[in-house]
Structure formats: structure tokens, C-alpha cells
Amino acid sequence: MIQDYLVLSIVLFCLGMLGVITRRNVFTVFMSVELMLNAANLAFIAFSRLHQTMDGHVLAMLVMAVAAAEAALALAVVILLHKHKSRLDTNVFSLLKG
């Protein structure tokens, strides 16, 4: 039973990693990162259910809080970069070099 959840978690994580590596659109990259974080949440919850503790649930809530903060900051950076360059490619991030 836990193997099914872990296989699903691995598949979701690999899809997210593939999206981060292959995509150039900033929003698609951020959605892929969120998919990877949700895959980690699924693994935490599965192990928590296996050991019948609430530790995995607490970690999943922590990951969701970090994901919300990451999404807010990433959206602000994307808006600023779009305002300066009018593009949403990941190549725009070369602008951040000092």
C-alpha cells in the first residue's frame, strides 16, 4: 500500500524535475517546483501513515508554508523582471548578475 504512494510521489517528483530542466517559461518552472514540493508532501504523509504518527503531517504543513512564501516572492521577482524585459524566459535571469 505504501509502495503505491511512494511510486506516485517519485513519478510526480520526476515530472516536476523534468519540467524545471526542460521548460523556459518562468511560470512553468515555478509550477514544476510546486509539483516537486507536493510530491515530497505525499511521501511525508505516506510515511506518517505507515508509522501512525503526526510527524509527516507537520512536515507537510511546513512545506506548504514554505511553498506559499516561495510563490509570493517568485511572483514579485517575475513581475519586476517582466516590467524591465517584457519576456518571461529563464534567460531573463542573467539580468540579476552583478
pLDDT in tens, the chain (98 residues): 899 999 999 999 999 999 999 988 888 888 999 999 999 999 999 999 999 999 999 999 999 999 999 889 988 888 887 787 777 777 766 666 65
Length of the chain: 98
The class (CATH top level) of 2-86 is mainly alpha
Question: How far is the C-alpha of 84 from the C-alpha of 8, rounded, in Å?
Answer: 40
Domain map (residue ranges) of the chain: 2-86
Enumerate residues 6+ apart whose C-beta is below 8 A from 40: 9, 13, 63
pTM of the model: 0.82
